[in-house]
Chains A and B, each alone.
Chain A
């Protein structure tokens, strides 16, 4: 199953600039936007205010969250040309082989990191805090596959920080919402423990995850995971000094949607992008 890297528009083709990079055509764009509206319903239901996360994340912040220990291969770096390269570029030289200087920042690989890092040192109180955000996320992959596996994609998340029980409840309510929306859209999803792309699959965190799954994915019939619910125990609360009033370090959990993958799952279920859009419009009313 490989979505064409060239999407058709009447008389016009939208070419891909490279592997894992796609310009969505108007129908798929309408699907993406419509699905995002529908999935934003979780934030409304849970009274999670909508925010916009930062477009870049500091490597120092991510290192404190063990990001590079777990996923050193995924990070897409934000480099910049050094002063020594600028004259050559300005006079028409090729940028292809010029070295990039690190900026200390990478593009987000998930929407929640930027939100969590923004809350460092805060007290979210006894009742906890929810935030909702959508953003473009980027991951280096060994292969790309249509809308299923992109270099950059949209991820919507609803994050909770608060008590241990609150984090579990957030995960449960998120899971119920996913199945409810899937039912309205005619999607048949399977729930299973997540198989996260840890760099070291035999490592400590991956082994504990196998014994005690904290993340579950909802997958389309072809195995594409389109949503996940994930709890982090009090990891982020401890690492970032985020407290939940008298409960101490906050427990957290999040519900995440891979938007292009929802588009893919809709087309898979309904045959064509046009039919998928028709189904989405009837489900949204």
Chain B
């Protein structure tokens, strides 16, 4: 997740505070549409898995919380009870 936050800060040098985990990255254009595929590449590189755009929704990319849950599930989440 640190790399994701670093990428967002690099793309948005004017940010004057931390990005909230529930902040809408799409509507606020912290992920600019021209950078969207680069963001996908970053997530693929970090997770080691490819992302099929046919199998995701925009909400999967909307917040840091969702991005972490959907693409970067850490050991903590993996170890959580399945149900």
Contacts and interface: CB of A to CB of B under 8 A. Distances in A.
B69 interface: no
Nearest to A234: B29
B33 A208 contact: yes
Give the bracket for the number of chain A residues in contact with chain B: 10 to 19
Contacts, number: 38
B35 A211 contact: no
B78 interface: no
B6 interface: no
Given A164-B27, A234-B29, A235-B29, A204 B34 contact: yes
A233 B58 CA distance: 15
Interface in A216-258: 233-235, 238
Contacts of A203: 37
B28 A234 contact: yes
Query: Size class of B's contact patch?
Result: 10 to 19
Interface in B14-32: 26-29, 32
A211 B56 contact: yes
B57 A211 contact: yes
A205 interface: yes
B80 interface: no
Interface in A161-211: 164, 203-205, 207-211
A210 B32 CA distance: 15
A212 B29 contact: no
A207 B34 contact: no
Contacts of A66: 34
Contact of B36 (A69, A208, A235): A208
Interface centre among A204, A205, A207, A234 (most CB of B within 10 A): A204
Contacts of B29: 233-235, 238
A171 to B, nearest CB: 13
Nearest to B31: A208
Contacts of B36: 204-205, 207-208
Interface of B: 26-29, 32-38, 53, 56-58, 61
